Amino acid sequence: MPADLAAILRQTTLLGDVPEEDLQALVAASRLRQYRRGQIVFSRGDPGDSLIVVVSGRVKVVVRSADGGELTLTILPAGAVLGEISVADGGPRSTDAETLEDCRLLLIPGEAVQAVCARVPAAAQALTASVAATLRRLTDAAADLVFLDLPRRIAKMLLTQPQDSNGTIRLELSQEQLARHVGGTRQSVNAALRGFEKRGWLDLHDRTIAVRDPAALRRFAGT
């Protein structure tokens, strides 16, 4: 298992250029934990004492209001990393993180990552780039919430998803989960998706949205 974990770390953009000796040291200092679907990984205000690598499964990063409202900031698949901001500045968690399905997560102590960044300039640069990418993504999302109506936010979100070998985009989220991602309600998201379906742009299934005409969605979203 340590060799497998080292290979997983090697494939991340954050730790891909770390020397093998340092990579093995990070694996040795880490904890591999199993999480059930819907389990909280961390909450806003918790100590930001670890970098987390998604070994398997998916994790959503969210912010919640005092009255229970929820906005999904991003959904991280296997191979993704979260917690970079807290590792970079030593501050507490700024969001909540929750598993969308059963997951295996590798928790790497923040001080171990900081020590590697101090020795390996490429790792320090990758950490800075990762934090900058998060800032850019949040800036773009804030702009979309202000300047795009809900159907166009949905179209733009769908276009960010990977395509399969046939060029079809498949989003494996419920309409409730999608609503939390675009800042809408399940009913309004359903209405927008039904409108897209009538135009022949996508097919709706129980928990899968298959985009058939990404070019039309792209024109609609203005991207």
**In what helix (H) or strand (E) does residue 40 lie, and over which residues does it extend?**
strand 40-42
DSSP state of 163: B
CATH code: domain 2-145 is 2.60.120.10
Comparing C-alpha atoms, which of 117, 118, 121, 65 is closest to residue 95? 65
Q: Taking the alpha carbons of 155, 160, 166, 172 in that order, is the dihedral positive or negative?
A: negative
pLDDT band at residue 170, thresholds of 50, 70 and 90?
confident
Q: How far is CA 126 from the centre of its chain?
A: 17
pLDDT at position 207, please? 67
The two three-digit tokens of residue 67, written as one number: 């009255």
| Cβ neighbours, 10 Å, residue 25 | 15
Averaged pLDDT for residues 42-66:
93
Does the pTM of the predicted model rise above 0.95?
Answer: no
Residue 59's pLDDT is 96
Percent of the chain with pLDDT strictly greater than 90: 62
Give the full edge-to-edge strand order of the sheet including 50-56. Answer: 31-35, 103-109, 50-56, 81-82
Contact 17, 126 (CB under 8 A): yes
- CATH classification code of 149-221: 1.10.10.10
Residue 93's pLDDT is what? Answer: 94
Across the range 157-168, mean pLDDT stands at 77
pLDDT at site 206:
66
Whether residue 167 is predicted with pLDDT greater than 70 in this model: the reply is no
Q: What is the structure's pLDDT at 164?
A: 74
- Judged against a pLDDT cut of 80, whether residue 169 lies above it is answered with no
Average pLDDT of the chain, as a whole number? 90
> CB atoms < 10 A from the CB of 61, how many?
21
Rounded mean pLDDT of 55-66?
92
CATH 2.60.120.10 residue spans of the chain: 2-145
pLDDT at 211 over 90: no
pLDDT tens digits, one per residue of 73-131 = 999 999 999 999 999 999 999 999 999 999 999 999 999 999 999 999 999 999 999 99
Task: Give residue 3's pLDDT band: very low, low, confident or very high (50, 70, 90).
Answer: low
Tokens describing residue 136: 């850019």
Phi, psi of 54 (to 5 degrees): -80, 105
Kindly state the tokens that stand for 89.
Answer: 């500045």
Q: Is pLDDT above 70 for 1?
A: no
What letters, b where the CB count within 10 A reaches 16 and e where it falls short, cover 143-170?
ebeeebebbbbbbbbbbeeeeeeeeebb
Instruction: Kindly report the backbone phi and psi dihedral angles of residue 113, in degrees, each rounded to the nearest multiple of 5, phi listed first.
Output: -65, -40
What would the mean pLDDT of 129-150 be, rounded to a whole number? 91
Give the burial class of 51: count Cβ atoms within 10 A of its Cβ; 0-12 exposed, 13-18 middle, 19 or more buried: buried
- Residue-level pLDDT at 2: 54
Transcribe 68-82 into DSSP letters: S-EEEEEEE-TT-EE
Q: Where, residue-wise, is CATH 1.10.10.10 in the chain?
A: 149-221
Cα-based angle 29, 31, 36 (whole degrees, multiple of 5): 165
